[in-house]
Amino acid sequence: MTPTDLSRRGMYFEEFEVGQQIVTAGRTITESDIVAFAGLSGDYNQIHTDAEFSKNTAFGQRVAHGLLGLAIASGLAMRTGVLEGTVLAFREINEWKFSKPVFAGDTIHVVLEIRETKPLPRLGGGAIVIALDVKNQRSETVMKGTWTALIASRPA
């Protein structure tokens, strides 16, 4: 392999097919994740940071930030390697829904499905629309939606 070959692990635009599914590895949400995300984002809402307050909510305990779950889902998608070295840009969150709470100790993974491909030659690649279904350790959907990413075309 040449050094160029080693830098590309991902798939080129032309390799994505509508209906294609990719399942990520899992990742357990930790107490440290929640605390670090509160500090990073500045979101110290009591539902995330106050155990006593949270006991009296509908959830009965602290809940991980929804945006923390979204960020981890993005990282899990990247860990698959299919976008590594070929993604040009994360273009859009087309829709997103938080369906169930995620708690410290939950393990999430993502089922990605290619919904649409659109060539964009002027950008040197194309857009793919990816449906993401984020599931917990009980295979319950905790959040889902669709993203658009710009992917490089195969070199000539």
Query: What does the pLDDT look like over 75-99, one tens digit per residue?
Result: 999 999 999 999 999 999 999 999 9
Query: In CATH, which superfamily holds the domain spanning 3-29+64-152?
Result: Hotdog Thioesterase (3.10.129.10)
Task: Tell me the domain boundaries of the chain.
Answer: 3-29+64-152
Query: What does the pLDDT look like over 52-73, one tens digit per residue?
Result: 999 999 999 999 999 999 999 9
d(CA 156, CA 148): 24
d(CA 75, CA 143): 15
The count of other CB atoms within 10 Å of the CB of residue 3 is: 6
Is the pLDDT at 5 greater than 70? The verdict is no
Confidence grade of residue 147 (pLDDT, cut at 50, 70, 90): very high
